[in-house]
Every structure is written in structure tokens, then in C-alpha cells.
Amino acid sequence: MVNVAILGFGTVGSGVWEILSQNAGVCARRAGVPVEVGYICDIRDFSAHQAAGLFVNNIEPILQDKDVKVVVETIGGLHPAYEYVRAALESGRCVVTSNKELVAEKGTGLMRIAKAHGVCFLFEASVGGGTPVIGPMHRDLAANHILSVEGIVNGTTNFMLTRMRQAGLSFEQALAEAQALGYAETRDPSADVDGIDAKRKIAILASLAFGRHVPPEAVPARGIRAVTPQDVALAAQLGCAVKLVAWAREGAPGRIEAAVEPMLVRNEDLLSDVDDVFNAVRVRCDMLGDTVFYGRGAGKLPTASAVVADVAEALREGAAVHDTLWWAPPLAGGETLAGTRRADTLLRFSGAGAAQLAAALGGAAQLLWQSEGQCAFLARAAAPGDVRAAQARAQKAGAFCENTLRMLAE
């Protein structure tokens, strides 16, 4: 029998306790040893909970108990999660986390600490919730050179864009609905709607895919606040859906390109059919080709199931998992990750007439729509620099670019 300690008893932490309690036999078979929760660390009062005897309000009893072999961190955020995780690793415990911010910011160092102490640091649930992505990338695609990774990795914004397309809702209406259903934070939804959550996730996937830490702050991110029902309608006119896409790819030799942005996704593309709170990640490899991982990107039990799977792997594999699960530190001095690839690009303007803008933009832009001081153009095969130049010319003509949507490459 081995003990597991859970740090944080919110949605995911309580789900981990529930799975380890209800599916004890299954977990023991997968881990190769009986597993039970020995401690739950949370500063709140759970005296009425059926597991009240397991609760402690600080990490010290956990670090002092040699029977604790795995620590599960579900606190979220950087602090005190980082300090607790580091202490657990340095005391010789494996750590499993669902904390995307922690992995994206501190994963490089924590994996190095884990390996130095003969333990492991696992984080399957940090991307995709209950959908397996991390494990398959570092294990099952080991014979492949990964060329790119892209997908829909934020369930909240995907739900909102689905409702905007299916019900004609505005951004504000879709956000209110997402908040009412518990998909979006009521106080501050910016991590979701501004692309912050997605850029942490693509930073993790890019680091794993290309073997070098991609700092999340280096990833350009643009959320969906500027997306309007008119954008959604124009996308449909072009045979596309609007999706918030997180992507990363190899650029020039030694260069990684990555971003998070709302994009036009062709209806023939599998990603266009990923709706509601579901996630999908497509990994393109040199030998296997395209592989798509699809499933629920959030939720108590889906996310907790990925955490518990990591607990079993930690007990089976220990530090050996880091023979394939690792990445090197970032380049000294950092790097700029903005993309350079050409793409058909939708530009929506306000403040000037279509004829005036057409003259300013030149013949490469096709007028798609105009109405009461607003208009939209499609620029074919436009490089990012071309788009910026077009926006500057439009501004000189008295127009403001309200939104740009690039076409996701096939």
C-alpha cells in the first residue's frame, strides 16, 4: 500500500479523491500496487466532509511521512504551488499536477529537479483536461520528428464561438451564457477570452514537441473579444468557422513559431467540427502524418482521470519517464515567436467607405461586405507584414481595423 497526498481540494482535487476512492481496484491494477489517499492539504474547513480525518492545513506532515510516495498538486497558480512542488520533489516524492501555469513557467527546472532526486514530475492534465496528449506525444510519437502542433485547447472560448455561430449571439451574450453555465469565470474571464490559458498550453506542447522550453510570455496571443456576429457570418460565407487556435511549428532552422489567435478554419478541416467545450489537438509528424487527439478539455472527473493516470505512471516508471519527457532550457536572450507564413486574411474595418479603402489597400484585397461605414476585405496569401502594411494604409485613409482573421493552413 502506498499513500498519495492531494494539495488543494477544489474541483480537480476532489475529483482525484473520488476516483481513487471509488476505483481503488482499477487504480491498483494500473499502478501495480494498492493506492490510497493519505493526506489532503487545504486551509479551508472540511470538518463535515466524509474524509475529514485526512485533512491537514500545511505541507509539513506530508513531507515528514515516508509512506507518501506521490504528491498531487491541484492548487493552481504559481505560488505557493511552486514552493510546495519543489519541496516534494526534493524530499524524494513524485509529483503529479494539472497546473498549466506551473508547468509552462517552471516545468524545465522542476523536471530537472525530479530527475536529480530519482523521482518524476508529470502533468498530463495540464493540457486537454482528460484528453491524453502529453503522454502520446512523448511516448507513442517517439520515432517521429514533430513538424507542428495546433488545435483548440480552451473549452470556454470554443463554447462561446459555437454559440455565436449556432445561435447568432454576440460576444457579450455568449460570455454571459458561458458564465451562467460555469464555463467562464464570473469575476475575471480574461485568462480564457484573451487567450492567456491557451498560450500556456501551447507553450507546454511546443516545448515538448521541439525539445526546447518555449516561455509562455514569448507567445503572441490574441483572444476572441473582437470577434463579432458579422465576423462569424463572413467566415461562413467563405466556407469556414471561427475558432481560437493555438499553434506552434518549426520555422527557419533553429526557430520556433507559435501563437494563439482566432482563425478561419475551413469546413473540411476536422477542427471546424470541434464544438462546445471539447478540445482537439493535431500533431503533424514526418513519418506518421497527422494525428488528432479529441475529447473534453475540462471538468472535474475528466481532468481528475488524467491526474490519476499520471499517479499510476509515476508509481510504475518513476524517474525513468524523463528519458523521453523533458525539454532543454530556452535560448539565451529569448526569441521572437511570431509567425511568418502567408495566409488568406479577413480584415474588417470601420470609419471609411469601401471604395476609399479599396484604393488604399490595392488590388490584392477583395471586398466581401459593406454596411453603414463598415466593410470587410479578403487579402489573398498575405504575409503578416503585408497585413500590417494594409492596416497602416487604411489608418491613413481614416479607417480602423476592427479585427483580422487568418486562414488556418491545411
Q: What residues are annotated to the active site?
A: 201
- C-alpha–C-alpha distance, residues 248 and 251, integer Å: 9
- Asked if 98 contacts 303 with a C-beta cutoff of 8 angstroms, the reply is yes
Nearest CA to 368 out of 248, 236, 201, 229 is that of: 236
Q: What is the DSSP string of 267-293?
A: TTSGGGG--TTEEEEEEEETTTEEEEE
Nearest CA to 365 out of 400, 341, 389 is that of: 389
Q: What is the DSSP string of 91-119?
A: TT-EEEE--HHHHHHHHHHHHHHHHHTT-
Q: Which ranges constitute the DSSP H helices of 117-170?
A: 134-135, 155-167
Q: Which residue has the cell 487579402?
A: 379
- C-alpha–C-alpha distance, residues 315 and 88, integer Å: 15
Nearest CA to 237 out of 276, 262, 271, 264 is that of: 264
- Asked if 98 contacts 74 with a C-beta cutoff of 8 angstroms, the reply is yes
| Grid cell at residue 327 | 525539454
- Asked if 147 contacts 249 with a C-beta cutoff of 8 angstroms, the reply is yes
The single-letter DSSP state of residue 342 is -
Contacts of 21 (CB under 8 A, 6+ apart): 37, 51
Q: What is the DSSP string of 292-341?
A: EEEEE---HHHHHHHHHHHHHHHHHHGGGGGGTS--BPPPTT--------
